[in-house]
Structure 1
Amino acid sequence: MEDRLRRGGDLRAGGPAVRPVATVAATLAAVLAACSPEEEPVRSDAVEEPGVPALPAQAPEHFGFGAPASPERVALWDIDVKPDGEGLPPGSGTVAEGRQVYEIHCMQCHGPTGTEGPNDRLVSAGAWDQWPAGRTVGGYWPYATTLFDYTRKAMPQATPGTLSDDQVYAVVGYVLHLSGIVAADAVMDSASLAEVEMPARDRFVPDDRMGGPDIR
């Protein structure tokens, strides 16, 4: 045995000959290498901005996008209606005509009487003075004029903006009638719609401040 140790042999019979000192050194070096932190890559805060490629010589000076903002084009988009009725277009509609518009364009989303859904309820089931009566036309909407504005821009949901001004006047009158706000023979136009006083008008405070405190 001593002779085999002197020659660096293995104590196991028939085992391969190894050199213990060299083996330990190699193992230690491998462990140290595995435990040492990796070097962080050098980072630069400078970001290279790509250059703007030059247009080819045959490129046109103008690409034909857009059009001048002529008064006629501006008028097509300037369709907002204010609470006092400013901006209401010419035209008119009756409650009876509004029922036909409602049955064709509105009933599938709001139900036959404006209470069934599946979309938002339009007509309150309870009295207006029982706040909150639900976010319906009679219980929540402050101005009949802005109801026209919203309906003209956003309804019907699947094809917004497709109703004529006369149809919007008519269907708004019909919904107001379902809510008990106007009579069955009412005719809605820019003058009569602006005169409608909504039950929820006094539940809102006009915020027309030009500075001043944050809370009014």
Structure 2
Amino acid sequence: MLAAVLAACTPDAPATPAASDATGPGGEAVAALPAGAPEQFGFGAHASEDRIARWDIDVKPDGEGLPPGSGSVEEGRRVYELSCMQCHGPTGTEGPNDRLVVAGDWEQWPPGRAFGAFWPYATTFFDYTRRAMPQLTPGTMSDDEVYAVVAYVLHLNGLLAADAVLDAESLAAIEMPARDRFVPDDRAGGPEIR
């Protein structure tokens, strides 16, 4: 098998008969396989529209891509106690991981490594939480649970009332305290950047 792979990597490797009619994504790779090599290797699955849709969950700063659902601050407190407290502490200020609550004035700069200083948009915090939390089982919270825990963390930071309920519309309307401190990186690149 290794010999077949190495042979396929040489510039003078013969192409398969399908080389001239290889079309679609990955067609060139299939066309470069040596004659007799299998087109499938027995692992993975076809990227169906349904499978792609399950991974296409990005949320933009303006709220585009937020899922249906909602969550209250009180529901978020329960989710936080079950899924977040072991890493971020009982009040979000202890750790051992990043502090989620600013213990002080937002106007002091820098406010330390804390939630509000790193998220210019609350929607981005939702997106990150949905994909990456809880740390040991990322992506396991329902959309309602993510809305709820985001509502709770926003409340702990004084950005949301105790009786608030978050959904796609209300989340996108929240202005984060450090939003204006973020600036676009408009560097063009080039050797001086690398």
Considering the TM-score relative to the shorter chain, is it more than 0.5? yes
CA drift at 1:136: 1.3
1:113 correspondence with 2:91: yes
Question: For structure 2, which runs of at least 5 residues remain unmatched after alignment?
Answer: 8-35
Output one character per residue of 1:65-120: Cα deviation in whole Å (capped at 9) or x when no partner. 33332211110111111111111111100000000000111111111110011111
Q: Which residue pairs with 1:52 in the alignment?
A: 4
1:192 correspondence with 2:170: yes
Q: Which residue pairs with 1:154 in the alignment?
A: 132
Closer/same/farther in 2, CA of residues 204 and 61 from structure 1, 3 Å limit: closer
CA drift at 1:60: 6.3
Output one character per residue of 1:34-78: Cα deviation in whole Å (capped at 9) or x when no partner. xxxxxxxxxxxxxxxx85389xxx986644433332211110111
Closer/same/farther in 2, CA of residues 68 and 126 from structure 1, 3 Å limit: same
Over alpha carbons, which structure has the higher Rg?
A: 1
Q: Would you say how many aligned residue pairs link Structure 1 and Structure 2?
A: 162
Whole-Å separation in 1 of the counterparts to 2:132 and 2:76: 17
Q: Which amino acid in structure 2 is aligned with residue 102 of structure 1? A: Y
Q: Which SS does the other structure have where 2:78 is aligned?
A: helix
1:130 correspondence with 2:108: yes
Q: Which amino acid in structure 1 is aligned with residue 165 of structure 2? A: V
Aligned partners of 1:138 and 1:181 also within 8 Å: no
Q: Which residue pairs with 1:69 in the alignment?
A: 47
Among residues 43, 60, 68, which one is paired with 1:90 in the alignment? 68
Q: Which SS does the other structure have where 1:52 is aligned?
A: helix
Aligned partners of 1:141 and 1:200 also within 8 Å: yes
Whole-Å separation in 2 of the counterparts to 1:108 and 1:158: 11
Q: Which amino acid in structure 1 is aligned with residue 108 of structure 2? A: Q
Q: Which SS does the other structure have where 1:97 is aligned?
A: helix
Aligned partners of 1:142 and 1:204 also within 8 Å: yes
Closer/same/farther in 2, CA of residues 59 and 212 from structure 1, 3 Å limit: closer
Q: Which amino acid in structure 1 is aligned with residue 134 of structure 2? A: P
Question: For structure 1, which runs of at least 5 residues remain unmatched after alignment?
Answer: 1-49
Q: Which SS does the other structure have where 1:166 is aligned?
A: helix
1:175 correspondence with 2:153: yes
1:140 correspondence with 2:92: no
Q: Which SS does the other structure have where 1:188 is aligned?
A: strand
Q: Which amino acid in structure 1 is aligned with residue 157 of structure 2? A: S
Aligned partners of 1:115 and 1:122 also within 8 Å: yes
CA drift at 1:123: 0.6
CA RMSD for the aligned pairs? 2.7
1:203 correspondence with 2:191: no
